[in-house]
Structure 1
Amino acid sequence: MTTPDNSHPDPVQDPQANPLLDGAGLPRFADIRAEHVSPALDVLLAAAREAVATASAPQTPARWDTVIDALQMAMEPLGRAWSVVGHLSSVADTPALRAAHAENLPRVTEFYAGVGQNLALYEKYKAIDAAVGARLTPTRRKVLDDSLRDFRLSGAELPEAQKPRFAELQERQASLSKDFSDHVLDATNAFALYVTDAAELVGLPEDAVAAARQAAQTAEREGWKFTLHFPSYFPVIQYAEHRPLREAIYRAYVSRASELSPEFGQGKAEWDNTDIMREQLALRAEEARMLGLGSYADLSLAAKMAESPSQVIDFLDDIAQRARPFAQADWEALSGFARDHLGFATLQPWDIAFAAEKLRQQRYAFSENEVKQYFPEAKVLGGLFGLIEKLFGVSIRPDDAPVWHPDVRFFRVESAGRLLAQFYLDPYAREGKRGGAWMDDARSRRRRADGSVQTPVAYLVCNFSPPVGDKPALFTHDEVVTLFHEFGHGLHHMLTQVDEMAVSGINGVEWDAVELPSQFMENFCWEWDVIQTLSGHVDTGAPLPRVLFDKMIAAKNFQSGLGTLRQVVFSMLDMRIHTDYDAHAEQTVNALAREINARYHVIEQSPVSRWPNSFSHIFSGGYAAGYYSYKWAEVLSADAYSAFEEAARAHGSVVDAATGQRYRTEILEVGGSRAAMASFKAFRGREPSIDALLRHNGMSAPGGAADAAAGAAT
């Protein structure tokens, strides 16, 4: 008889051997390997399936504790482990991790689709509603209402014969979403443009040149290396005097993940997302039809503030009409300047950012690079944290936790010495990290069975330029705004006081209201008393001069008309492809994008542009039929911020603790435990108005559909 060797723990069962099974604390990022993913999910999926079977069994009483609480307790470890895998795929992608994620995505998707379609479980929730629904607290009432809605939208009421196809739709869409994101990342990573003639770098800021030199040295090449990662790409398109350099990198950037990718140095033809977009849209439309809805946009809006696709389209159309005169003036001024001062008879797409920066410098006598020298990372973070402390009565301190990259830092948020939340900050762009900036939920607040509170943890991820040599990282003012934006999301997640996980923090918040706290925070980046705490010249430590700040304020709405129409085009394409677009018809998504651009924008779209092919927000980021949310929530956020402007007129500063405490109590702490409109009205004492948004953007407010949308749905 052979005695089993128990000297080595079973990697499937032992949390010490498999860090994804260790739910006791924060993720052990340094220990997590791709080979841990499948064994961990074997255990976690089995436990979650058992919990679902128990909760939906006939002998299980239909009570909150035996069904809703029991499911939450059993399914949270699965959700957290899978979230860690997804997070690492976004910030530390490797071939092995990508393969592990792809291998397990179908079975995770299948499990959650099965839960949503579980008619017996749905009946338990309805029985709880019938028995105690009228006596529930408002928070639990919101949890139950959201759950019942989600069961319906997940196909629980479908005939049993249709449920396998509905589940297949979920699984295939999840796979396509991951493929879309991977293709954008791969196409971005594959491109490299090497420059060996220093004359071609004229106009580029010193830090951009130094970063390109460092990148070339890392690649063991001569000269300077430029990539399609935004901190490398944008300085070229904005500052490089050498027009062919701008053209080369522009063409590559706007054609990512398209049929043109190989032509512009982005590697493989199979990274083309064209067919993925078509298939995704066809599957989404089929999903909506199976649920008896007119379009996928109707399905998407069922959990949002907006009442119908037509209301959203009217809202966007009205915003476009308001912005168009300003955009036309912006374009005429830019074209005339480029012709008269830069010698560009025709302003090509790769000239626009360059000419705009030159015009900004002429009109306002400053450059973004000049401003950047006043925003070293440590000063910005110190100012941001100080602002949060004054507004909301909390303190932010460095903390310790395992991280996924040496650049990542960890912090704790406290109130009167009591831990409220923690967050990771991953600020810099790098290989293997997808572009953009985002906040994600690492752990949600909830009350445990023993009565203790699980505090929330957030991921805050950006893609800023890293330090070069002995210089600290320097942020452009746009990057400072981005940091404040993501931190606004983080505050919404971290300062919640709701104990039901399904509606704590950002959970349960209508998607078209979730941008309110993030866009709200951006406003402080334009306040003089805040800017003084954020800025300190990288060489002298001197704060941003008032004369330079005044120029920035004067330039704040520079080309805001063009920027608004750009967002309208993005939002309108998203809404159109999810309402009346036929994915099986001859017209491509890119052809529709050109049609919409021609109708709403004043700048013709470049023939080489394939921007929908890298539109990750709607094809892999959860914003499908929801990209309009940025403008929709901007109405809310601008009006919410106007309360601080009113406080400043009364007390001298927007950094008003009393108003901050009201905002914290009525917006941040309640999370998704009540409707977003109710939270807004509790804070402002009235329904929102579009006036503040138009004022902040330098546009008048004569009335129209946008006002109606603001009053009726935002």
Structure 2
Amino acid sequence: MSNPLQDLPLLPSFDRLDPEHVPAAIDAHLEACRARLQTGLYEPGWDTTLSPLDEAHDRLSRAFSPVSHLNSVLSGPWRAPYEAALAKITDYWTELGQNRELYEVYRLLADSPEFSQWPQARRKSIELGLRDFRLGGVALEGEERAQFAANSRRLSELSSTFANNVLDATNAWSYRTEDEAELSGLPDTALAAARAAAESRGESGWMITLDGPSYLAAMTHADNRELRQMVHQAFVSRASDQGTDAGRFDNTPVMTEILALRARQAQLLGFENYADLSLASKMAENSSTVLEFLHNLARRARPAAEREFAQLQAFASTELGLDQLQPWDIAWAAEKLKRDRYAVSQEELRPYFPFPRVLSGLFAVVARLFGVTVEADPSVAVWHPDVQFFWLKRDGDKLAGFYLDPFAREKKRGGAWMDTVTTRRQGSDGLQLPVAYLVCNFSPPAGGKPALLTHYEVTTLFHEFGHGLHHMLTKVDVSPVSGINGVAWDAVELPSQFLENWCWEPEAIEMISGHYDTGEPLPEVLLEKMLAAKNFQSAMFTVRQLEFALFDFRLHSLEQSPSAEEIQALLDEVRREVAVVPVSPLNRFQNSFSHIFAGGYAAGYYSYKWAEVLSADAFSLFEENGIFDQETGGHFLQTILEQGGSRDALELFTEFRGRGPEIDALLRHSGIES
């Protein structure tokens, strides 16, 4: 029987994939990559070395992509083969990054007289390749060279371990009750989900879990303060030495080893610290630029955040009988204050944002902005009944495709993300279309109703689709700079945050909303309340993001690796500087901070705010010209989405906006005075 990870059609054969397919396929692709490399080195050149090697790498990527993806969305039997394959692939990329013969091919091409006449995408891919060789340790010798390679493999293992511990700790905790009165305050949607969670585990009653929708519902709506405290403390102590599962999935030693190895890698490459190494591939010039940016935002936002929290505390004291707000009271009290001030809640809005309506409205928004249509293709094999596949088209021609996996379930990684199935590239078999995974964790349909989204979840869907458009609408055919490839990490959030803006525009809201039962549009009075409440506690949210960003960047700016106690002390120090809300003594946020310990945001979490400046400023041009102005939409498509990583992010932004980025639009959109 053929191996679908070796046959490699454009779309993975999810109906045939089995964990047993992984070892043989990955070994075969790695062998092919190494053979292509050796052959190519005999006759150095773009067409003879780099293009054939890129084709082999593309096949390796297309084989590993579904394995990595299934480990994230199904876990279970995919974890062991994923980790074994990841170790082999990490070894290969480390080996390749230190291959001096291949490095010399890049140098030869960059120094050739014809180089300046090459297409922009090819030139950029060579420039980035040379940078990555330097960052991959190509200049290292002897013991340092071997140590760098060993560290790279260990870091890959630790990153996977960190993510597994967070997932396992999240899945391990639940609270079941037979007494519905304990869940007083939870809306019908949350109660139905709790009932379904219990039934899925063969239990009666209602079950609260640490999955995003369940946790947020409990923290925002449960009137039972003891329940909120229990759920909150279980959540903030995940994967740590605290809480009910103390030590069972503890990420403390994982975290400290990751930081030690990152610091050592930076030193081996001649950087003072890991933050400096990280910035070598980002827009921001240096560490001072990043810290100045974050502190400047904090200076502007914290006074407003303090006022917001003082108002919340006063309201809680006079109206809710809470003289002292505890961490598990914040979201609950905030929801009460929001209802009191604006007479609107996310739960009131839910019936007007049924998932099918939001999805079709999102596609309509994108069609008006960028002239593309989206069509479902039920014939494509998927990994779960909730998943759908779509084609992105223009004038009837396929441009790209994407899988959408929208709902939370057990053994699925939390959060929301976009990932790559295939990359647009010109190969020996012709043009390969880009395909993406779009993954969210919304509350699934329950109680005979479709999935009803909060407005926050609507913006999440738009955010991930923005990432998807960046990947799918590229016109670049050179894979190292096609789509999101080669884009500076602190600019990669630009298209995603940019698209969120349409969730707040009345003309677009009309397209994405409609009562699940009657189809009636969102009433004008609710719309006005929702828009009035847009910046409710936005300064508190801003300083929370700044807390994460400053902690991450300062942590990776340390020259010596910190102990667990020093990590906690640094986080406490950052909180004293920017935070305004109380923190539970059991809080070990760092132990589940997957963005920086299991994702690509190490010394880069600041990117969310950095890119938000770009996205708000970009959207301000639509505010000036009309939110569906076709010329402006076409200009954004051509200068940002189609260019991928073929040109510097700042250069592309400046071409779109006609000037460099300015922070004013972000402050205005956030309701924070300039």
Determine if contact 2:273/2:559 at 8 Å carries over to the other structure: no
Matches within 5 A, 1:686-705: 686-701=659-674
**Of 384, 391, 399, the match for 1:405:** 384
SS in 2 for 1:426: strand
**Of 519, 537, 543, the match for 1:541:** 519
Aligned to 1:239: 221
**Of 165, 169, 181, the match for 1:187:** 169
For residues 273 and 486 of structure 2, what CA distance do their matches in structure 1 show?
23
**Of 143, 155, 158, the match for 1:173:** 155
Aligned to 1:5: none
**Of 579, 582, 591, the match for 1:613:** 591
Question: Structure 1 residue 112 and structure 2 residue 93: aligned?
Answer: yes
For residues 504 and 405 of structure 1, what CA distance do their matches in structure 2 show?
29
Q: 1:586 to 1:666 in 2, by over 3 A?
A: closer
Q: How far has the Cα of 1:540 moved from its partner?
A: 1.8
Q: How far has the Cα of 1:53 moved from its partner?
A: 2.0
Q: How far has the Cα of 1:587 moved from its partner?
A: 3.4
2:641 maps to a residue whose letter is L
**Of 638, 661, 667, the match for 1:665:** 638
Question: Structure 1 residue 681 and structure 2 residue 649: aligned?
Answer: no
2:50 maps to a residue whose letter is I
**Of 287, 292, 298, the match for 2:265:** 287
Question: Structure 1 residue 494 and structure 2 residue 480: aligned?
Answer: no
State the identity %. 52
For residues 168 and 295 of structure 1, what CA distance do their matches in structure 2 show?
19
For residues 636 and 628 of structure 1, what CA distance do their matches in structure 2 show?
13
Q: 1:476 to 1:166 in 2, by over 3 A?
A: same
For residues 551 and 526 of structure 1, what CA distance do their matches in structure 2 show?
12
1:21 maps to a residue whose letter is Q
Return 67-76 or 597-606, whichever deviates more: 597-606
Q: How far has the Cα of 1:585 moved from its partner?
A: 4.7
Matches within 5 A, 1:120-519: 120-131=101-112, 132-260=114-242, 263-264=243-244, 266=245, 269-399=247-377, 400-450=379-429, 452-519=430-497
Matches within 5 A, 1:521-540: 521-540=499-518
**Of 16, 23, 26, the match for 2:11:** 26
2:14 maps to a residue whose letter is F
SS in 2 for 1:86: helix
SS in 1 for 2:352: coil
For residues 33 and 391 of structure 2, what CA distance do their matches in structure 1 show?
31
For residues 156 and 676 of structure 1, what CA distance do their matches in structure 2 show?
26
1:241 maps to a residue whose letter is D
Q: Which runs of 5 or more residues in structure 2 are unaligned? A: none
TM-score normalised by the chain length of structure 2: 0.98
For residues 457 and 382 of structure 2, what CA distance do their matches in structure 1 show?
23
Question: Structure 1 residue 51 and structure 2 residue 36: aligned?
Answer: yes
Q: How far has the Cα of 1:584 moved from its partner?
A: 4.5
For residues 63 and 191 of structure 2, what CA distance do their matches in structure 1 show?
40
Question: Structure 1 residue 520 and structure 2 residue 494: aligned?
Answer: no
2:344 maps to a residue whose letter is F
Aligned to 1:704: none
Aligned to 1:593: 571
1:162-214 deviation per Cα after TM superposition (whole angstroms, max 9, x unaligned): 21111001100000000000000000001110122111111110011011112
For residues 40 and 669 of structure 2, what CA distance do their matches in structure 1 show?
51
Aligned to 2:555: 577
For residues 376 and 19 of structure 1, what CA distance do their matches in structure 2 show?
36
Q: How far has the Cα of 1:583 moved from its partner?
A: 2.2
For residues 640 and 177 of structure 1, what CA distance do their matches in structure 2 show?
34
Question: Structure 1 residue 562 and structure 2 residue 540: aligned?
Answer: yes
Determine if contact 2:501/2:619 at 8 Å carries over to the other structure: yes
1:300-319 deviation per Cα after TM superposition (whole angstroms, max 9, x unaligned): 11010001112101110110
Q: Which runs of 5 or more residues in structure 1 are unaligned? A: 1-8, 10-16, 649-653, 702-714
1:347 maps to a residue whose letter is L
For residues 193 and 604 of structure 1, what CA distance do their matches in structure 2 show?
25
Determine if contact 1:52/1:115 at 8 Å carries over to the other structure: no
Return 150-159 or 355-364, whichever deviates more: 150-159
For residues 575 and 522 of structure 2, what CA distance do their matches in structure 1 show?
38
Question: Structure 1 residue 99 and structure 2 residue 80: aligned?
Answer: yes
Q: 1:251 to 1:19 in 2, by over 3 A?
A: same
Aligned to 2:46: 64
For residues 643 and 399 of structure 2, what CA distance do their matches in structure 1 show?
14
For residues 588 and 195 of structure 1, what CA distance do their matches in structure 2 show?
39
Q: How far has the Cα of 1:218 moved from its partner?
A: 2.3
Return 28-37 or 500-509, whichever deviates more: 28-37
Determine if contact 1:446/1:453 at 8 Å carries over to the other structure: yes
Return 132-141 or 175-184, whichever deviates more: 132-141
Determine if contact 2:353/2:453 at 8 Å carries over to the other structure: yes
4+ runs deviating over 4 angstroms = none
For residues 545 and 570 of structure 1, what CA distance do their matches in structure 2 show?
37
**Of 599, 619, 632, the match for 1:641:** 619
Q: How far has the Cα of 1:270 moved from its partner?
A: 4.1
TM-score normalised by the chain length of structure 1: 0.93
1:165 maps to a residue whose letter is Q
For residues 94 and 533 of structure 2, what CA distance do their matches in structure 1 show?
49
1:240 maps to a residue whose letter is A
Q: How far has the Cα of 1:62 moved from its partner?
A: 2.1
Q: 1:270 to 1:581 in 2, by over 3 A?
A: farther
Q: How many residues align?
A: 672
SS in 2 for 1:30: coil
RMSD over aligned Cα, in angstroms?
A: 1.2
Aligned to 2:22: 37
For residues 564 and 74 of structure 2, what CA distance do their matches in structure 1 show?
38
For residues 312 and 562 of structure 2, what CA distance do their matches in structure 1 show?
40
Determine if contact 2:186/2:222 at 8 Å carries over to the other structure: yes
SS in 1 for 2:438: strand
Determine if contact 2:272/2:559 at 8 Å carries over to the other structure: no
